[in-house]
Structure 1
Amino acid sequence: MAIETAAPPAARGTTPGPPARRRPRHRPLWMLTPGGVLLVLVILVPLGVALTVSLLDLDQYTLREWTGAPFIALDNYVEAVTDTPLPHAIWVSVGYSALVTVATLPIGLAAALATQQRFKGRALVRSAFLIPYVLPAFVVGTVWRTILMPSGPANSLLGDGRLWLNGPDSYWTLVVVQLWTSWPLLYLLAASGLQSIAEEVHEAAALDGAGWWAKLRHVVFPHLRGVLALALIIAFLHNLNSFTLPYVLFGVPAPHDVEVLPVLTYVESFQNFRFGLSAAMAVLSLVLVAIPLSVYLRAVRLNQHED
């Protein structure tokens, strides 16, 4: 009678065979369809129309059949750069936006640090800090225009007859009013960043004997670096694209010192009826906005690679 012997176990150290191949997971890409359709309709289609119009000689005479307007290639872009106040408007917009953004950083950060700890009435103080930001820009511009009129409360209080809404002082008026209405954005983002810092981190710093300034420098600021960078980019783009506030505050045509890019584009389109030229200005402003945004996105990507 033959005795069946079991197969000897595999020797130790033997290299196992290749693992079984996993079947590729079928990702439901169809779920991206609603977002893709919305992206096409809201962003890509208007962008394509703007690019097309910027290449045409489209004005009030050719608007009725704009698809048959003369094709002039890049002439609108050349005219916008050489024969219009566009370079000056870009300089004013970028300059005052950068100035306001830098000035809002310490104000917003100080307000966030002041309201971080619990105290009686903190919710009321936080709500009051957000009032300048949540008010409509039309209301803010109207109120400040009333205050800064030659016979308004500002000159009555100072005993001076300065022209805040015209002349050289109009630039600083725009800076102050934009600063007043936009600093709560930095405060809101900085406050959210402070809330994300774990309580154990603060306790560890206290156990190590860290003082107030050392705690801010070595604990708080490193945690807020990414949040504040995003806040600065958003605030700069918000100030750069601000239209309602300068429009209501100074009217059109705006004084030369505060002729910002959005207002200039509006004037060329809806007052001078140069739709092709205004579309070229809008495309150039889009390129201007994309520069700081691309820098930030590249910085975020590099940080992720380092992590």
Structure 2
Amino acid sequence: MPATRRRTVSERNRPLWLLTPGAVLIGLIIVVPLVIGVYIAMLQLDQYTIRKWISAPFVGLNNFVEAFTGTDLLHALWNSVSFAVISTVITVPIGVYAALATQNRFRGRGLVRSVFLIPYVLPSFVVGTFWHTMLQPDGIVNKILGEVGIPAVHWLYGPASYWVLIAVEVWAAWPFIYLMALAGLQSVDAEVHEAAALDGAPWWTKLRYVIFPYLKAPVALACLIATLHHLNNFSLAFLLFGVPAPTDVQILPTLVYSMSFTSLRFGMGAAMALLSLALIALPLFIYLRAVRLDTGNDSGGKR
């Protein structure tokens, strides 16, 4: 039996060398800006000191303290979290139901699936402008309501604006849940459906014990991605309500933009952006801790 040649150090480290270009790119576009952002968040950087920002007064954690005590950060934080959670809770059943409704073959299924994807493939600029125009005081929505005897509603400011933001986000985001759920349904083996039919399982039992287990992983991942998207969705709120946004729809992305480019307090804006990053990282951390990731290395482990 021929002797097995031992791999050299360079051969064992070859996968690491192959990852080097990606690591360098990540360092340039993520790590370096993040370090600069942390540094700016500790400076009193505004329109008066931006010209020589490196020599701007160092204030340490004062920007973070003032962000919590002297701004609308906590209100914007509550708006962002509640907006993200409510939008996800509404879009998940809509997307799953649409996937179940279009799973089996029927005449015109391809057309229906294409129509379902229209809100998702439209650019955010088109969606925001479209709904902003329709929800104006003299827009088509109030005209339709007036035809049936309902008085006009101020959709873009006041208490109704918060629910308008959620409704438009749900309209634009539910097809993503639909796609993920449909992908999970495609992985259900035909034999499983046949076995459930032979056993005479009713539709609810089949749905709960046969179909839902296949949807658990893709829908959970879709919920995570959708929640992160809702938390970080600046363009929709910006196009619907402008900046500075009304208090009822002031979310973290618009607050950071307003603080940085309207009030020109760049240090405070950087501090708020870092706090937003921590908020976005929290659900990702919880998800990664909740699932078991397969590393593909079973050597020395128990099966």
Question: Normalising to structure 2: TM-score of the pair?
Answer: 0.91
Structure 1 equivalent of residue 104 of structure 2: 117
Structure 1 equivalent of residue 6 of structure 2: 23
- Structure 1: how far apart are the matches of 2:101 and 2:302? 33
Q: Which has the larger radius of gyration?
A: 1
Q: How does 1:2-81 map to 2 (within 5 A)?
A: 23=6, 26-28=12-14, 29-81=16-68
Structure 2 equivalent of residue 274 of structure 1: 265
Aligned: 1:224 with 2:215: yes
2:140 aligned to 148, 153, 156, which one? 153
**Amino-acid identity (%):** 58
Map Cα deviations across residues 14-57 of structure 1 (whole Å, 9 max, x no partner).
xxxxxx99835624121111111111011111111111110111
Map Cα deviations across residues 222-277 of structure 1 (whole Å, 9 max, x no partner).
11111111111111111111111111101122111001110010000111110000
Q: Which amino acid aligns with 1:218?
A: Y
Q: C-alpha displacement at 1:210, in angstroms?
A: 1.4
Aligned: 1:188 with 2:175: no
- Structure 1: how far apart are the matches of 2:242 and 2:176? 25
Q: Secondary structure at the match of 1:186?
A: helix
Map Cα deviations across residues 148-172 of structure 1 (whole Å, 9 max, x no partner).
1111111111112210111111111
**Moved runs in structure 1, 4+ residues, more than 2 A?**
20-25, 301-307
- Structure 2: how far apart are the matches of 1:71 and 1:182? 42
1:215 aligned to 199, 206, 211, which one? 206
Q: How does 1:89-168 map to 2 (within 5 A)?
A: 89-159=76-146, 160-168=151-159
- Structure 2: how far apart are the matches of 1:88 and 1:278? 16
Map Cα deviations across residues 199-227 of structure 1 (whole Å, 9 max, x no partner).
22222222222121111100111111111
Q: How does 1:226-245 map to 2 (within 5 A)?
A: 226-245=217-236
Q: Which amino acid aligns with 2:6?
A: R
Q: Secondary structure at the match of 2:12?
A: coil
- Structure 1: how far apart are the matches of 2:12 and 2:224? 37
Q: Which amino acid aligns with 1:104?
A: T
Q: C-alpha displacement at 1:120, in angstroms?
A: 2.0
Change (3 A) 1:306 1:176: farther
- Structure 2: how far apart are the matches of 1:184 and 1:217? 22
- Structure 2: how far apart are the matches of 1:301 and 1:67? 44
Q: Please identify, of 278-287 and 142-151, the stretch whose mean Cα deviation from structure 2 is larger.
A: 142-151
Structure 2 equivalent of residue 12 of structure 1: none
Q: Which amino acid aligns with 1:99?
A: I
Change (3 A) 1:185 1:49: same
Structure 1: runs of 5+ lacking an equivalent: 1-19
Structure 2 equivalent of residue 8 of structure 1: none
Map Cα deviations across residues 78-136 of structure 1 (whole Å, 9 max, x no partner).
01010000000000010011001000011000000111111222121111111111111
Q: Which amino acid aligns with 2:291?
A: V
- Structure 1: how far apart are the matches of 2:83 and 2:90? 10
Structure 2 equivalent of residue 13 of structure 1: none
